[in-house]
Amino acid sequence: MSDDERGEEKELDLSSPEVVTKYKSAAEIVNKALQLVLSECKPNTKIVDICEKGDSYIREQTGSMYKNVKKKIERGVAFPTCLSVNNTVCHYSPLASDETVLKEGDILKIDMGCHIDGFIAVVGHTHVLQQGPVTGRAADVIAAANTAAEVALRLVRPGKKNQDVTEAIQKVAAAYDCKIVEGVLSHQMKQFVIDGNKVVLSVSNPDTRVDDAEFEENEVYAIDIVTTTGDAKPKLLDEKQTTIYKRAVDKNYHLKMKASRFIFSEISQKFPIMPFSARALEEKRARLGLVECVNHELLQPYPVLHEKPGDFVAHIKFTVLLMPNGSDRITSHSLQELQPTKTVDDPEIKAWLALAVKSKKKGGGKKKKGKKGEKGEGDEAVAMEETTNGES
């Protein structure tokens, strides 16, 4: 792809109806893929099989679109399906040889993404593998993530600043006696760019600083909220668990090993821009070659991080389009019934939750309030009391 072509692509944003359609089509597919993955989550099912079904569904659905157009349109998985269990925080998407299975009572974090022509929709969701309502600290940590996501949805709007969101989500987590996990970033997304330069920090601290930024109309964001009952400083326990990588397009290096050159050539052809799973590569050769590619920064790894055993971790991620008539959350899934031990009484949090998501401009989008499985306009009570109903 030439620089001239890239320059043209950067101009494409939500002011184009065709772009909005592609974002919404990608979102529809990833929402249905999440629903499929949830339906496959049963005790004694192998995690790798579930991840593979999520990715296969996205590939099949996107593959059937834009077949008969003159110019080839890239489409498919924008982020491989991950299924991180209990105190595992993120990016667990094992290789085919992995035998790990789900167990009754597991807290599952599902994370996945789809793109059409480089316009990306991502979603993250938390589900406890049990019948009946979720109670105790597990309910607290999921409620904290969900309420923080609802607040973020209302604060990611033109004129607001990224640090406004960082401060607010930390306050919400504290109300449930939980913490926001450090190091999680919410990124602006653009065509073929899953991790744009405008960033919302999950936790502000001296080690991780980002530029102050103001949200603007026609931007797209992946809002990523991870909460924990632990100390919120997750650790990399085993580099061998890392299976998701993204090609670093700005880096060059002449690889020494034949296996590395072979794997890097395959990656450059199959996955030139989007994150991918090492499952898609020949396993033995990939193990050898990936190490050298990572060591010389040709690939960016997405490490599998862990809180301490016994800690509860929840993850909610959604894609939001900052449209002229307000924020449009295009990816989500309704939660199980939660019975948290804490209630939110803080007037500032209640005020944030009371903010409208859509403006009432003339000709603005229709409100979706009251529709099952959609939480665009609801207050905290609605957000908290949703039950799983099979809709996305």
pTM: 0.89
* E strand map for 86-243: 88-90, 107-116, 119-128, 134-135, 179-180, 185-189, 199-201, 220-228, 235-236
Q: Where are the beta strands (DSSP E) in 174-268?
A: 179-180, 185-189, 199-201, 220-228, 235-236, 244-247
> What residue type is 247 in one-letter code?
R
Instruction: List 110's β-bridge partners, or say none.
Output: 83, 125
DSSP labels for 323-347? ETTEEEE----PPPPEE-S-----H
3-state helix, strand, coil in the chain (%, to 5): 35, 25, 45
Distance, in Å, from the CA atom of 391 to the CA atom of 338, rounded to the nearest integer, reads 17
Q: Which two tokens stand for residue 330?
A: 């295009």
- Convert 38-70 to b/e letters by CB count within 10 Å (16 or more is b): bebbeeebebbebbbbbbebbbebbeeebeeee
The CA distances from residue 108 to 130, 137, 332, in Å, are 11, 15, 15
Residue that is written with structure tokens 């209990």 in the block: 86
Amino acid 360: pLDDT: 59
Residue 53 in tokens:
């079904």
The whole-angstrom separation of Cα 330 and Cα 164 is 22
Beta strands in the chain (DSSP E): 75-85, 88-90, 107-116, 119-128, 134-135, 179-180, 185-189, 199-201, 220-228, 235-236, 244-247, 276-277, 299-302, 305-306, 313-323, 326-329, 338-339
Predicted pLDDT of residue 286: 83
- In this structure, are residues 162 and 169 in contact, taking their beta carbons and an 8 Å threshold? no
Q: How far apart are CA 29 and CA 21, in angstroms?
A: 12
Would you state the structure tokens that stand for residue 348, as one six-digit string? 């500032």
DSSP string, 253-269: ----SHHHHHHHHHHHH
The pLDDT value recorded for residue 206 is 72
Beta carbons of 242 and 291 less than 8 angstroms apart? no
Distance of CA 352 to the CA centre of its chain: 23
- Cα–Cα distance for residue pair 314/124, rounded to 1 Å: 10
Pairing assessment for the beta strands 75-85 and 107-116 based on DSSP bridges = antiparallel
Structure confidence at residue 284 (pLDDT): 74
C-alpha torsion angle, residues 87, 93, 95, 101 (rounded to 10): 50
At which residue do the structure tokens 């949090």 appear? Answer: 349
Q: Is 96 exposed, middle or buried (0-12, 13-18, 19+ CB in 10 A)?
A: exposed
Tens digit of pLDDT at every position of the chain (392 positions): 444 444 444 568 999 999 999 999 999 999 999 999 999 999 999 999 999 999 999 999 999 998 878 888 999 999 999 999 999 999 999 999 999 999 999 999 999 999 999 999 999 999 999 999 999 999 999 999 999 999 999 999 999 999 999 999 999 999 999 999 999 999 999 999 999 999 999 988 777 778 899 999 999 999 999 999 999 999 999 988 999 999 998 888 999 999 899 999 999 999 999 999 999 987 777 888 999 999 999 999 999 999 999 999 999 999 999 999 999 999 999 999 999 999 999 999 999 999 999 875 544 444 433 333 333 334 433 344 333 333 33
